[in-house]
């Protein structure tokens, strides 16, 4: 007595046959106990029986394509059945199990913990909404209009929703569950991180005269996006995380490289810095005032760079 299970390519059970006799025949022909609709399987392909010791044995009945253990390359005439390692005939995977095959204890049903992630997601949603509204409000220097709030907020909402839907769909396809809340939480956290970075950068550019934090804002944006993608991929499936990490890292590095190149080419075309001049209320100043002579000392130092640039050939006529 045994069970013959036909497995999918993901090695999930696709169908299961109960064999009450001592022997089972498997093949494409209709005289078998288990009929396999696989053109690469012989009409009579495999026989499962018990040897003298009572051990289940699979025996190839002279098929052309042979019988293999899952993942093995060597053709086997006889295979000792251990109930765990699948067998491959043609392009079909099989697993044979005894009636006595031991199964593990039942998993404990965890109490529903959906409330926490939902609360967290909502908090993140409120946070991003708050930051966006605050940014718009603080940047508003003309007559306030409802559309100047509604349009950007809706745009962000639609983009976030679209993004989450794509990842939920991927999760559904590859892991069977859409994990909408998890994906939404990741997307919102990413948006909050980026909005916070942008605000902190603006303040820092003024308070500490660090214009670099605005100039290189795109690097931060790509890094945040990379982390988001990795977390989404982790949500889709936890297998081969290192591979996903490598993939995401490579993509982020490429994106940063390409954008850096693009910016440096745009700079050599226009000669203008991306605007970083940013004023804030004077009370946010975090460094002390420098004396005028120090300021002009720094300015005098710019001259050497300008004169060096003058010595360089023009970008468009190099070699003329």
| Interface ranges with other proteins (CB under 8 A) | 137-143, 206, 209, 211, 267-273, 275, 277-283, 285, 287-292, 294-296, 298-300, 302-303, 305-307, 309-310, 312, 314-316
Least Cβ distance, residue 133 to other proteins (angstroms): 13
Q: Which is nearer to other proteins, 205 or 224 (CB)?
A: 205
Are 148 and 136 contacting, i.e. CB atoms less than 8 angstroms apart? yes
Least Cβ distance, residue 132 to other proteins (angstroms): 15
Least Cβ distance, residue 319 to other proteins (angstroms): 15
Give the separation between CA 65 and CA 130, rounded to whole angstroms.
65
DSSP code string of 41-100: S-SS-EEEEE-TTS-EEEEE-S-SS-EEETT--S--SEEE--SSS-EEETTEEEEEEETT
Backbone torsions φ then ψ of 51, nearest 5 degrees = -85, -170
Q: Which is nearer to other proteins, 234 or 263 (CB)?
A: 263
Q: Which is nearer to other proteins, 104 or 271 (CB)?
A: 271
Least Cβ distance, residue 310 to other proteins (angstroms): 5
Least Cβ distance, residue 198 to other proteins (angstroms): 14
Q: Which residues pair with 89 in a beta bridge?
A: 67, 92
Least Cβ distance, residue 154 to other proteins (angstroms): 22
Give the separation between CA 264 and CA 274, rounded to whole angstroms.
10
Q: Which is nearer to other proteins, 37 or 316 (CB)?
A: 316
Longest CA–CA separation in the chain, Å? 101
- Residue 275 gets which letter from DSSP? P
- Residue 284 gets which letter from DSSP? G
Q: Which is nearer to other proteins, 242 or 289 (CB)?
A: 289
Q: Which is nearer to other proteins, 71 or 139 (CB)?
A: 139
Establish how many alpha carbons lie within 13 A of residue 110's alpha carbon, considering only the half-sphere containing its beta carbon. 3
- Residue 105 gets which letter from DSSP? P
Least Cβ distance, residue 202 to other proteins (angstroms): 10
Give the separation between CA 220 and CA 196, rounded to whole angstroms.
11
Q: Which is nearer to other proteins, 101 or 285 (CB)?
A: 285
């Amino acid at each position: 007595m045994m069970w013959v299970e036909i497995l999918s390519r993901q090695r999930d059970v696709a169908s299961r046959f109960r064999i009450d006799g001592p022997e089972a025949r498997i093949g494409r022909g209709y005289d078998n106990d288990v009929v396999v609709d696989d053109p690469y399987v012989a009409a009579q392909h495999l026989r499962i029986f018990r040897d003298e010791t009572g051990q289940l044995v699979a025996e190839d009945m002279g098929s052309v394509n042979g019988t293999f253990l899952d993942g093995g390359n060597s053709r086997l005439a006889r295979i000792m059945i251990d109930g765990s390692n699948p067998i491959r005939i043609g392009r079909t995977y099989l697993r044979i199990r005894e009636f006595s095959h031991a199964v593990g204890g039942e998993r404990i049903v965890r109490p529903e913990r959906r409330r926490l992630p939902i609360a967290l997601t909502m908090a993140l949603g409120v946070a991003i909404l708050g930051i966006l509204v605050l940014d718009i409000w603080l940047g508003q220097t003309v007559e306030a209009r409802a559309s100047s709030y509604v349009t950007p907020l809706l745009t962000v909402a639609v983009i976030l929703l679209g993004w989450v839907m794509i990842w939920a769909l991927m999760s559904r396809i590859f892991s069977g569950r859409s994990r909408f809340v998890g994906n939404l939480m990741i997307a919102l956290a990413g948006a909050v991180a980026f909005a916070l970075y942008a605000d902190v950068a603006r303040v820092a550019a003024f308070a500490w005269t660090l214009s670099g934090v605005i100039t290189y804002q795109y690097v931060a944006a790509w890094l945040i996006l990379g982390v988001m993608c990795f977390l989404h991929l982790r949500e889709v499936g936890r297998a081969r995380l290192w591979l996903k990490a490598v993939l995401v890292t490579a993509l982020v590095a490429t994106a940063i490289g390409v954008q850096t190149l693009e910016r440096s080419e745009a700079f050599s075309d226009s000669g203008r810095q991306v605007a970083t001049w940013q004023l804030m209320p004077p009370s946010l100043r975090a460094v002390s005032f420098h004396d005028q002579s120090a300021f002009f000392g720094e300015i005098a130092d710019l001259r050497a760079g300008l004169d060096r640039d003058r010595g360089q050939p023009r970008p468009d006529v190099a070699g003329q």
